[in-house]
Structure 1
Amino acid sequence: MNRRVELKGIFLLALFLFYAAEGNSFAAKDKISKAEKKEYQERVKTAFKKGWKAYKDYGWGQDAVNPIKEGSHNWYAESLLMTPVDAFSTMYLMGLEGEMEECKELIFSELDFDKDFEVQQFEIAIRILGGLISSYQLDGDERFLELAKELGDRMIPVFDSPTGIPYRLVNLRTGKAGGEGTNPCEVGSMLLEYGMLSKLTGDPKYYELCKRGVVALYERRGETGLLGSWIDVETGEWQDKRAHISGGIDAYYEYLLKGYLLFGDEDLKVMWDTCRKAVDTYLVDENENGYWIGWADMDTGKRGLTRFGALDCFWNLCYVLDGDNERAEKLQASIYNMWKIYDIEPEAIDYMKMEPYEGTEYYMIRPEAIESTYYTWKATGDKKYYDQGKHMFESIEKYCQVDNGYVQLQNVITKEKWDTLESFFFAETMKYCYLFFAPEDVFDFEKYVLNTEAHPFKNTWDKGWKGNKVGLK
């Protein structure tokens, strides 16, 4: 089959899965009343605005807010306006024009990247670089793109390594890179952001340097096709050969598939297919407790931890985008069962015991379980997944809400509060909650791919990467 035709077919299939639930009667097994959806639209907006008010009252100009103590905190020595930049795309989709204006005023008057400290490059890329690029595409203000280019230029020295695998850290002022050890997530889960920067500026260097690291890591995969947990940037030697899809590896895989859908780079599809086959072969674990994805050795495939956590839930959207509803529904059943144990999910469970691993009893208001539920609902049109998403929102309302905002949970068993509200509450958790109930025309999946921070990236070009100098051997 012609690869261009195949690409178009797979992309259209992914889009069909999304549109089927809303646009075709045969996919809508149970209708949802417009009144209920309107009610929940407003409830989710109210939750977002309550969290934003907490930020305005106690964290204005800082990275994040601590509502209970009425304070704030920064990730580094000075603020990078994490919450405002992360929140803008959700404000746009919700139509919160007043909040958007005050957010823009803060960003354009205060956001400064001339900072003499190291940052974790991939976190800044998915949150701030991605947030700025998405805000530019949604809002059209050129200043967002100017800031994005400045940030990209300040972080690009991380790619100057002997192996091509990027360093983890970079000083935003001096460009000095550091962090000789890294993980797959921090190697590949900024490919969408740098690719978008290349597309929007016309400069291929950002994408090509990032892709070089993605390929370099892929070429060091284990005999099973799996990636390990930790690698030396300068030697290319694996330091930890445990394979999984949890934090530290997760979005490397996610971006292979999403990068293919967004850019049409066929190398990414080849790598995704190889990696997915390896995960399905060596990590998938079906047992009496459900369908799970555990841990194994990257070379031998020998099974390790029977651990599945909040971050692992992202794999289900990959099943959906890859057109595999059968596996998606099986994994979704396990994800929802994990949520139901305590009426809200812990960070990770031992799926053989169906209880949290020691030290993982907390809930950070992560979005991935809600994200998975949303994708599964849109793919199947089955109302039970809509009801699951509604339940997850209600759990957040019940357990994470405080008088002046929202906070995380220190313990999902006791429901003890953890006084912090990070930016992804606004960027991801509230966005996915809202999309369950939003009007059909509020978001067009034919035009956008969501990055791992749920920032919409719009395809404004023909598929296929032109002039790419980096590829598989």
Structure 2
Amino acid sequence: MLTLAFALDKNLIKETNDNPVGLYHHVGSYVNWDTRREKVKSAFIISWDAYCANAWGYDRYHPVSEKGSQMSPDGLGWIIVDSLDTIMLMNLTDRLVEPRKWLQRKLNYNQDQDVNTFEMTIRMLGGLLSAHYLTTKLPNAASRRDSVYLAKAVEVADRLLPAYESRSGIPYASVHLSKAKGLPSHADGGSSSTAEAGTLQLEMKYLSYLTGNDTYWRKAERAMKVLSDNHAKADLVPILVHPESGRFTSREIRLGSRGDSYYEYLVKQFLQTSGQELVYLHMWEEALEGIQKHLITTTKHSGLKFVAELPQGIGEPLSPKMDHLVCFLPGLIAMGATRGHTLSKARTWPSWDDKKEDQIQLARDLMKTCWGMYAVTETGLAPEIAWFHANEEDLRPAPGDRPLPRTRDSLAEWKKDYIVKPLDAHNLQRPETVESLFMMWRITQDPLYREWGWKIFNAFEKHTKLSPEQGYSSVDDVNATPPPPRDNMESFWLGEAVVLD
């Protein structure tokens, strides 16, 4: 009997070790989440305090060398602005005094500097608007009469408006701050990224709502109409669009860089307008059908579903490449299906059907693949890009027209399917996977996603924390232990990744 019990225990241990999903999530209800929350909060405090001590007022922070550098002549406060809402959400009111003072006294946008229209909108304008919103909702964030964040947001938006002065209304890739002039991209024949043109709307529309000035709304909305008027096949948009003609200048389709957030903002614009702008819901549902038919395929050994790319467009072979950036998609699919409500509530609606259930299952499947990007590496950190082993027939056009196999949850099989190329092996502290895990936990209430997020946080703690004085760094190789640091802390590490972990 003892021999039998030992053999059973040994097999159980072997099976558990080969299970990339993990059994630990079954104890989720027994975990002290207050303690874990404090550890995450501590990681932010260490990161923020290191920046303040070593690089205050600089746009970039280099934690290895303990110094900062600028992205413009006088700096634009990229890290400061990107961190404001996290400071407020974590109730670190003692750390708000200096950032607010710096914004009011030091931040100057009248600089001889080209800035990326997209980055300036989502980080600078978005950061200021988030801070303003939280001052109206959190009792300790600021006085409701405090207008510095909104005033700076209006100033940023006004500096960005010249980017929309193209012939078509598609925003130029860049804008010169002091000259108030939109500038076409220096690459791609002057084309703008489709993702960037379709990822300016939330901030501009919210600013119109706050100020009563509909100029911001109209400028951003115009870009969406131009993109829609192209009538993209299967509602999957190519990644480049020219600001003068308003026409697509590429056939390439992907949900990673230059394509990603166009799709993300379809759902979020629908939700932002309280469901009144049904056009965005319809655009999203049609795009999701296109994604399911043309981009979702499976790996060779374990049948993991992943989002492939179409370098030559619809009707051509797929490329088995998936950026970490694509990992915004699982949470988005779940949010689109339930409109941001819990799954248990959404399932009570008369409109809930098998199609929506299939979408939730797809969200779960893709979430597993994104988790796999972390689970298969030596450090437990995801690479910037993953490639996959896939059968040739699974890379033929329209994989959604063919039956796809079920996933096999074997870590050994998963490791056969993921390919991490040396040039793609870096980790830039990106937030997309933890963002989706956060939404999947909130929507499905499955503790599995919470536990995956905790394991990712621990991997960051173990492999990217330098010291309490230096903070955290992005790394060069997720399959090297210890991974070489890149001597850079991304602003979205403070603005998104830490708080979502």
- Structure 1 length as normaliser, TM-score? 0.83
Take 1:333 and 1:168, find their aligned partners in 2: how far apart are those partners?
A: 34
Deviation at 1:373, TM superposition (A): 1.3
- Does the residue aligned with 1:242 lie in a helix, a strand or coil? coil
Among 464, 471, 479, the residue aligned to 1:405: 471
Bigger relative contact order, structure 1 or 2 (CA pairs below 8 A, ≥6 apart): 1
Question: Equivalent residue for 1:74?
Answer: 70
Q: Give the superposition deviation at 1:327.
A: 1.2
- Quote the residue 2:173 is aligned against: 168
Pick one of 209, 220, 229 that aligns with 1:219: 229
Task: Give the letter aligned to residue 295 of structure 1.
Answer: E
Mapped partners of 1:77, 1:220: distance in 2: 39
Query: Aligned-pair distance for 1:240?
Result: 2.3
Question: Matches of 2:120 and 2:297 in 1, distance apart?
Answer: 34
Matching residue within 165, 180, 183 for 1:178: 183
Change (3 A) 1:235 1:357: farther
What are the superposed Cα offsets for residues 215-238 of structure 1, whole Å, 9 maximum, x if unpaired? 211222432321112222212343
How many residues were matched structurally?
405
Please name the residue that 1:420 is paired with: 488
Q: 2:108 aligns with which of 112, 115, 118?
A: 112
Pair 1:102 & 2:107 matched: no
Is 1:138 matched with 2:131?
no
Aligned counterpart, 2:406: none
Q: Which residue of the partner structure matches residue 457 of structure 2?
A: 393
Larger gyration radius, structure 1 or structure 2: 2
Task: Give 2:160's aligned residue.
Answer: 155
Matched, 1:431 2:499: yes
Asked if 1 retains the 8 angstrom alpha-carbon contact of 2:128 and 2:152, the reply is yes
1:32 aligns with 2:98: no
- The answer to whether the aligner puts 1:276 opposite 2:273 as a matched pair is no
Partners in 2 of 1:91 and 1:124 — Cα distance? 20
**CA positional deviation for 1:82:** 0.7
* Displacement of 1:33: 3.8
* Corresponding residue SS for 2:235: coil
Amino acid of the residue matched to residue 99 of structure 1?
R
The one-letter code of the counterpart of 2:291 is V
Counterpart residue number, 1:355: 419
More strand by proportion, 1 or 2? 1
- Matching residue of 2:333: 319
Q: Please state how far the C-alpha of 1:267 moved relative to its aligned partner.
A: 2.1
Counterpart in the other structure of 2:324: 310
Of 35, 38, 41 in structure 2, the residue corresponding to residue 45 of structure 1 is 41
Greater mean alpha carbon deviation, residues 117-126 or residues 349-358: 349-358
Q: Displacement of 1:30 after TM fit?
A: 5.6
Q: 1:81-136, CA deviations, whole angstroms, 9 ceiling, x for partnerless residues?
A: 01111101011111101112222122222111111211001101000101111111
The more displaced of 215-224 and 155-164 is 215-224
Cα distance, 1:29 vs. partner? 7.3
The one-letter code of the counterpart of 2:474 is Q
C-alpha separation in 2, matches of 1:306 and 1:281: 15
Residue by residue over 1:251-306, the C-alpha shift from the partner in whole angstroms, topping out at 9 and shown as x without a partner, is 11111110110113222222222222211211111344401111125753323321
| Aligned pair partner of 2:55 in 59, 84, 90 | 59
Q: Are the counterparts in 1 of residues 253 and 313 from structure 2 also a CA contact under 8 Å?
A: no
- Give distance in 1, aligned partners of 2:315 and 2:370: 24
Separation in 2, partners of 1:300, 1:396: 38
CA contact (8 A) 2:257 2:325 kept: yes
Q: What RMSD over aligned residues (CA atoms) do the two structures have, in Å?
A: 1.7
**Aligned pair 1:330/2:396, yes or no?**
no
1:246 lines up with 2:256 in the alignment:
yes
271, 274, 297: which one pairs with 1:285?
Answer: 297
2:444 is aligned with 1:380: yes
What letter corresponds to residue 315 of structure 1 in structure 2? L
Letter in 2 for 1:316: P
Task: State how far apart, in whole Å, the 2-side matches of 1:66 and 1:31 are.
Answer: 36
Q: Percent identity?
A: 26
Unaligned stretches of 5+ in structure 1? 1-27, 434-473
CA contact (8 A) 2:295 2:318 kept: no
| SS of equivalent residue, structure 2 residue 288 | helix
Note if contact 2:172-2:182 (Cα within 8 Å) is conserved in structure 1: yes
State the 1:387 CA deviation. 1.1
What runs of 5+ residues in structure 2 fail to find an aligned partner?
Answer: 1-24, 136-143, 185-189, 338-358, 390-416
Partner of 1:13: none
Q: Deviation digits for residues 231-252 of structure 1, max 9, x if unmatched?
A: 2221234332110110111111
Q: Is the 8 A contact 1:410 1:417 kept in 2?
A: yes
- 77 and 360 in structure 1: CA distance in 2 versus 1, 3 angstrom threshold: farther
**d(CA) in 2 for partners of 1:31 and 1:44?**
17
Q: CA deviation at 1:31?
A: 4.9
Contact 1:181 1:232 in 2 (8 A): yes
The change in CA–CA distance for 1:194 and 1:298 in structure 2 (over 3 A counts) is: farther
TM-score, with structure 2 as normaliser: 0.78
Secondary structure of the equivalent of 1:113? Answer: coil
3-state SS of paired residue (1:292):
strand
Q: CA offsets per residue over residues 419-448 of structure 1, 9 Å max, x none?
A: 000210111001101xxxxxxxxxxxxxxx
Task: Report how far residue 386 of structure 1 moved.
Answer: 1.4
SS at match of 1:240: coil
